[in-house]
Structure 1
Amino acid sequence: MKRNVSDLLAPAAAVLLVALVVAAAAGAWPPFVAVESGSMEPTVERGDLVVVTSAERFPWGGLTGHAEPDAPTRLGGTGDVVVFDPPDDGQHPILHRLAFRVSAGEDWTDRADPALLDGDCDDIESCPAPHDGYITFGDANGEYDQSAGIATVVREEWVTAKALVSVPNLGWFRVGVDAAIARIGLLPTAVGVGGAAAVAGGFGAVLIGWAGRGRGGRRK
């Protein structure tokens, strides 16, 4: 019985171990972000999984905007792509690209790309900048987040991680889990996912056992 329980729990433990190792290397938890919208298409699409790191993690330390000289290439464009979570806005964290840094009180539209603005500073709630921070945008969107009213100027402390690479379609599981949590709650979802992992582990152990016995039989 103990061995059977161990076989069932092994896959879940292995997944947790891998996640912990990746988190330790990345310096962020969770070390993966599932993309829930198409605002960063075509490079990053809904259902993709993005590996993220701490904004200060070596060798990717610091934050660099799209408009800055020698900006790094991240996810198909220049400038860091970050996860930011403005407090008390009632939204999920947002994965968008940094455009440029602004200072409190600045009319940042003077430095902006006119194609990504809807009006001048008088027409935009986040202009002049209410505080120091960053202007941001989604690659597939036609406006800066601050011009479209998606977010105010993003304070640096609201940036929880920045993106390194994306893996197509691997984020659907996370999207599904988040949807299940929103619909039925954390505990039922955890029980369901744990049960599915245990069943999958059991089938895997059985298949591995059959394969081992088959090889043993052929050696005889």
Structure 2
Amino acid sequence: MKRTRSPTGLLAPAAAVLLVALVVAAAAGAWPPLVAVESGSMEPAVERGDLVVVTATERFPWGGLVGHADPDAPRRLGGAGDVVVYSPPGDENRPILHRIAFPVSEGEDWTDRADPELLDGDCADVESCPAPHDGYVTYGDANGEYDQSAGIAPVVREEWITAKALFAVPDLGWFRIGVDAAIARIGPLPTAVGLGGIAAVTGGFGAVLIGWVGRGRGGA
């Protein structure tokens, strides 16, 4: 008799993937716990297509946020200081993964302690100087300027920071980038259905292959 696969069996692979993501998120305290890198602004340590594992800013393995200029800054992703994920106001759908340079206070002329090589002009030339509020000056390792000097973002408020990076896994982010592109093009529901179908087919092929191997060993 031909065996028919139940809907529950078809969804099992997708459910397993979701369960793993939820476990990682619970441990990391951030959602999503995995960030796909879409630009080369953090090269060479982090390249486009890499997958970065992140955690909440107050979680392990260290507390708070530490900038590159801090003498006790930890080494993270090829440099000193925390690498964080932040979303400037008005552009929440395009989060930025960059390194913290140093904290600043409202009204401060922070260019006095900035690296001149990462600064285009003095305080009068930078829109975010004096600092409009407390926050952080940030930059991409591969960029030639601070985000605030290049006009990428104003001084980054702490509440804009959603996570900090732990480590990167090369090339595994391409899947996430593809999923995001599919959602933008055809919508979340068709994308979910498509991924579920792919997972089901992959699981089916895997089951058939295992069955063949098992029968081959049994007949030897």
Could you state the TM-score of these two structures normalised by the residue count of structure 2?
A: 0.94
Looking at structure 1, the residues matched to 4 and 43 of structure 2 have their Cα atoms a distance apart, in angstroms, of: 48
Pairing 1:55-94 to 2, within 5 Å after superposition: 55-89=57-91, 92-94=94-96
* Runs of 5+ consecutive residues of structure 1 not aligned to the other structure: none
Which residue identity does 2:170 align to in structure 1?
P
**TM-superposed deviation, 1:214:** 2.0
Shift of 1:9: 2.4
Residues 7, 202 of structure 1: 8 Å contact kept: no
2:12 maps to 1:39: no
1:44–1:75: 8 Å Cα contact kept in structure 2?
yes
Residues 81-124 of structure 1: CA distance to partner in whole angstroms, max 9, x if unpaired? 00001221365000000000000000000010000000110011
Q: Which residue number corresponds to residue 142 of structure 1?
A: 144
Aligned residue in 2 for 1:167: 169
Give the secondary-structure state (helix, strand or coil) at the position aligned to 2:53: strand
Contact 1:9 1:201 in 2 (8 A): no
Amino acid at match of 1:211: V
Judging changes above 3 Å, is the alpha-carbon distance between structure 1 residues 11 and 92 closer, same or farther for their aligned structure 2 residues? same
Please name the residue that 1:102 is paired with.
Answer: 104
Structure 1 Cα separation of the partners of residues 182 and 101 of structure 2: 34
Q: Give the 3-state SS of the residue equivalent to 1:134 in structure 2.
A: strand
> What is the number of equivalent residue pairs in this alignment?
218
Q: What is the one-letter code of the residue matched to 2:211? A: G
| C-alpha spacing 1:27/1:91, structure 2 compared with 1 (3 Å) | closer
Q: What is residue 188 of structure 2 aligned with on the other side?
A: 186
Matched residue, 2:217? 215
Structure 1 segments (4+ residues) deviating >3 Å: 1-7
- Pairwise CA distance, 1:213: 2.1
**Alignment correspondent of 1:133:** 135
SS in 1 for 2:91: coil
2:55 to 53, 56, 66: 53
Residue 193 of structure 1 deviates from its aligned partner by 1.4
- CA distance in structure 1 between the partners assigned to 2:102 and 2:187 by the alignment: 39
Contact persistence 1:52–1:165 (CA under 8 A): yes
1:111-126 to 2 correspondences below 5 Å: 111-126=113-128
State which drifts further: 83-92 or 201-210.
Answer: 83-92
**What is the aligned-residue RMSD (CA, Å)?**
1.4
Post-superposition CA distance 1:7-27 (Å, at most 9, x none) = 432221221121111111111
Which deviates the most, 102-111 or 52-61? 52-61
Identity of aligned residues (%): 82
Q: TM-score, normalised to structure 1's length?
A: 0.94
For 1:208, what is the secondary structure of its paired residue?
Answer: helix
Q: Check 1:81–1:18 CA distance in 2 against 1; reply closer, same or farther (3 A cut).
A: same
* Separation in 2, partners of 1:124, 1:37: 24
For 1:24 and 1:137, locate their aligned partners in 2 and report how far apart those are by CA, in whole Å: 29
Q: Secondary structure at the match of 2:137?
A: strand
Any unmatched runs of 5+ in structure 2? Answer: none
